[in-house]
Amino acid sequence: MDIIKDFLSSTFKFIQDILSGTQKLLWPPQSYSWQSLIYLSVFSWFMSYWAAGFFVKNIIAFCGWLFLIAGTAWYTTDNPVVIPGTSMPVGALITGGLISLFAFGGEKNLLNPVSFVLWPTMSALITAIPEFFQGTGTTATVSAKIPKPEARQKIIVLILSSMLVSCWLQLYFVVDNWAKQYPSILTDNLNNSVLVKKIALPEEATPKKIPQNGLTILNKLVPIIITQIDDQSWSKVERLLKNARTKDSQIAKLGRKVIDTELAAYKERDLWRVEARVEGINPKSPDVYRLSLLSIWSGPSSKKEGYYFKRSCQVEPVASASFTRGRENRRKAEIECNTKSSFFAESPPPQG
């Protein structure tokens, strides 16, 4: 019985201590306290949700942010905990994060890259500010002062170190944006890169990746070329084939249109281009042509030659079923294309 009684007594005391600590944390000891500011921020945000009018709504929300930042800074100043190995209090890190979100966070995207990048630098500046004042900040007696030489050194090292961290964060977001806007670069060999490292299976077990955007260009372009050639007048098609080698040819323009449409979400669309190669297949059949459609990557590559995709088609004339008065059968064009594209890690063949 004594064991049960002692157990119940210790359990009751443990629960009582938790409730007492929670009450002490949440219940303001006086009206002018950090708890009051936190409650004012919650009340302001609640009122801004129900407020009518854009101006009034934002003014109340603005006050809510100020109360939250002031209350958090006050609480963390009263109970300072320093990050191990640095002179930066944890409170400054929290307050700096709140100020970054408040100043640079968007209404729809609060956690944007700018907030993360400026967070360390903002926290370092908040840590350095008390060194220039004498007083606690919660009393009326506060005066300016010049930090001692050893304090100046600590401030300079802390601010520069935090700015270096901000630079590394900015570099991460820049490289991440490159990876999203130029996905073809990630399919290349990045073993010599000092910025981007791939974590993957061993080389022999890793399937070889190829830029999917290059395949997409040809997959969308080939059906358009087929409609431009198949069952069309042979004289018209032959002119199209003879002019296909020029940069301003109809095929090149169609390719540019496909690239701008299919790769509209990527900035790498400017690094792709479409070219055509036309050659005869058999000297005995001069009217039979091989049309090769090329999607060529002109961006950075691990090989100076670059790479390209190729899809080949055979174009030839056939007799039309329709007749014209007093003339021979009118010839039409027929085209047959390969079902798959080929990938070449080399420079594209020269124009014929």
- Among 205-214, 217-226, 242-251, 297-306, the range with the most confident prediction by mean pLDDT is 217-226
> Which whole number is the average pLDDT over 13-30?
57
Given a cut of 60, whether residue 137 has pLDDT beyond it is: no
Are 278 and 241 contacting, i.e. CB atoms less than 8 angstroms apart?
yes
Distance (Å, whole) CA 92 – CA 99 = 10
Q: Is residue 268 part of a domain?
A: yes
Q: Is residue 72 part of a domain?
A: yes
Helix (H, G, I), strand (E, B) or coil at 178: helix
Q: Is residue 350 part of a domain?
A: no
Given a cut of 90, whether residue 257 has pLDDT beyond it is: yes
Q: How many domains does the chain have?
A: 2
136 plus 231 within the same structural domain: no
State residue 293's pLDDT score.
93
- The residue range of the domain holding 225 is 212-344
Mean pLDDT computed over every residue of the chain:
79
146 plus 33 within the same structural domain: yes
Give the pLDDT confidence of 29-87 residue by residue, as tens digits. 666 676 778 788 888 877 877 777 777 777 888 788 888 888 877 776 666 666 666 66
Close Cβ partners of 110 (under 8 Å, ≥ 6 residues apart): 101
218 plus 135 within the same structural domain: no
103 plus 173 within the same structural domain: yes
Report angle CA 31, 34, 38 to the nearest 5 degrees.
100
> In the structure, what pLDDT confidence band is assigned to residue 319 with cuts at 50, 70 and 90?
confident
Q: Is residue 299 part of a domain?
A: yes
104 plus 154 within the same structural domain: yes
Helix (H, G, I), strand (E, B) or coil at 99: helix
36 plus 134 within the same structural domain: yes
255 plus 303 within the same structural domain: yes
Give the pLDDT confidence of 303-315 residue by residue, as tens digits. 888 899 999 999 9
Given a cut of 90, whether residue 221 has pLDDT beyond it is: yes
Close Cβ partners of 105 (under 8 Å, ≥ 6 residues apart): 111, 112, 115
Domain boundary residue among 181, 199, 225?
Answer: 181
253 plus 166 within the same structural domain: no
> pTM of the full predicted structure?
0.67
259 plus 334 within the same structural domain: yes
Q: Check residues 153 and 247 and name the one with the higher pLDDT.
A: 153
Q: Is residue 200 part of a domain?
A: no
98 plus 234 within the same structural domain: no
Residue 62: how many other CB atoms lie within 10 Å: 13
State residue 302's pLDDT score.
80
The upper half-sphere exposure of residue 199, i.e. CA atoms within 13 Å in the direction of its Cβ, equals: 0
CA distances for 47 relative to 35, 37, 39, 109, 222, angstroms: 18, 15, 12, 22, 59
> Which whole number is the average pLDDT over 330-351?
88
State residue 24's pLDDT score.
57
Give the pLDDT confidence of 225-254 residue by residue, as tens digits. 999 888 888 888 888 888 887 878 889 999
151 plus 277 within the same structural domain: no
Are 288 and 278 contacting, i.e. CB atoms less than 8 angstroms apart?
no
Report angle CA 280, 281, 287 to the nearest 5 degrees.
60
Given a cut of 90, whether residue 164 has pLDDT beyond it is: yes
Q: Is residue 309 part of a domain?
A: yes
State residue 94's pLDDT score.
81
Q: Is residue 190 part of a domain?
A: no
Q: Is residue 130 part of a domain?
A: yes
Distance (Å, whole) CA 75 – CA 34 = 6
The candidate with the shortest Cα–Cα distance to 295, out of 220, 200, 243, is: 220
Q: Where are the alpha helices (DSSP H) in the chain?
A: 2-26, 34-50, 54-78, 90-104, 113-128, 149-181, 183-186, 212-229, 234-242, 250-262
157 plus 19 within the same structural domain: yes
